[in-house]
Amino acid sequence: MAEFFEMPQATPTMEFGTLGEWKKSEGDKLSPQDVIAVVETDKAAMDVEVFDSVVLLKILAADGDEIPAGFPIAIIGQEGDDISALMEQFASMEPGGAAPAAEAAPAPEAKSAPAAAPVAKAPAAPKAELNAGWTGPGYAGKPLDDALMETWGTFHVEGPKVRSSPLARKLAASKGIDVASVTGSGPNGRVVKADVEAYKAPSVSYGVAAPKADEIVRNSKMRKVIAGRLKESYLDAPVFFLTAVLDCDSLVAFRKDLNGQLAEQGLKVSYNDLTVAAVAKALRDVPEVNASWGPDNITRFGSVDVGVAVALPDGLITPVIRQADKKSLVQLAAETKDLVGRARDRKLDPSEYSGAGFAVSNLGMMQIDQFTAIINPPGSGILAVGALQQEPVVKNGELAVGWRMKVTMTCDHRVIDGALGARFLQSFRGYIENPMRIVVL
């Protein structure tokens, strides 16, 4: 029996998902665990599978559509199933529980005619012919009642039917845009929500070069989640900052020797790997920093899990290295490389980018000397790492050149007091300035 296939809810907090790509076409036969589509959540692209042997009878959403969790995106069933009742039901549905589109659609058209000028009635025509011209959602194939016959001249639309998604039609109506004037980017030229959002009405030229049009960039699900969570963190947590300048002469020499030994195995350790390892050891030494604030208590995490900020084209994600203090440098480097690669491919499971007690954000490779970072909940601290560079320094009373790096720790004052944060940075400094301790301790 045919049924709706709904937008899955990948995480408890997911409200909407963006349909990234259909992997199957209408009429395709599907087996259990076949991937039917790719759905983009806040920070990952998720393969959506079917669990039974079915046929993809009808696709109800286009690539790029943002669909609420639990809203139909397709109809599945067995070959030959009648889907007319489901199509009629879908035509009257609105995401988020709004009034059925069939009831709301005629209103804008009916009000658009000038009040002073009576509307001329269209010539009488058979109802079947009128049905063919009416494209209002929920009315296709239905008999037109007397009221609709009387007002036919008001809302009858000449010309071919415009392929468009329900969300696109709703948005176009709210903006006063004729959906027929919008160029569709969906399958077979279908108009989707993004097309309506990006639509610009034609402008009249008077011989003066028009300025470059504003570019409308739709907020991705990831960007919306980042905005919400970091705004909450910024407004909720009373933070302060601690900055330290680290002597990295020994760190540079240590990494050079280490990578020389690892080269034969095709392995390599980065400065970021060494920084994360030093942070993990310092969190083990000062466990009070590896904690999270709660209304009634502070939770001190039993595991040293460190987040590593990774920049993506449309936002930021923080993969988590679990039990980072117990991993060797080679293990940590390999795991970080794997997590970063899959993060950039949007292939991380939600459990792999959540729950870090502390995080590291490194912009040193982009020649940023110093910056501050916003805490990523549920952690209470984050370390912003600046560029490692040579500077004039004083050694033994004489001017010399040395490798230096600035780091700034953002602390949630509800959990980390000034002295506690300073104690953590002292421990971190000890590992960076004496890197052999990272290996032996």
- Nearest Cα residue to 43 out of 306, 310, 359: 310
Kindly state the helix (H) or strand (E) to which residue 90 belongs, with its residue range: helix 84-91
Contact predicate 291/299, CB 8 Å: yes
* Spatial distance between the Cα atoms of 310 and 344, rounded to a whole number of angstroms: 8
CA angle 42, 46, 49 (to 5 degrees): 145
SS3 content of the chain, % helix, strand, coil (to 5): 35, 25, 40
Nearest-CA neighbor of 356 among 239, 229, 178?
A: 229
What is the pairing mode between strands 358-362 and 381-395?
parallel
Residues whose CB falls within 8 Å of the CB of residue 209, separated by 6 or more in sequence, listed in order: none
Catalytic residue of the set 142, 229, 322, 413: 413
SS3 (DSSP) at 252: helix
Asked if 431 and 438 count as a contact pair (C-beta separation under 8 A), the reply is yes
From the list 65, 68, 93, 61, the residue with the least C-alpha distance to 15 is 68
Alpha-helical regions (H) of 345-417 = none
State the sign of the Cα–Cα–Cα–Cα dihedral 88, 91, 95, 100: negative
Look up residue 243 and give its two tokens. Answer: 């900055």
Q: What CA–CA distances, in Å, run from 98 to 69, 104, 171?
A: 15, 10, 13
Distance CA 380, CA 416 (A): 7
156 labelled catalytic: no
User: Which runs of E-coded beta strand occur in 14-156?
Assistant: 16-22, 29-30, 35-40, 45-49, 54-59, 66-68, 72-77
Known catalytic residues? Answer: 413
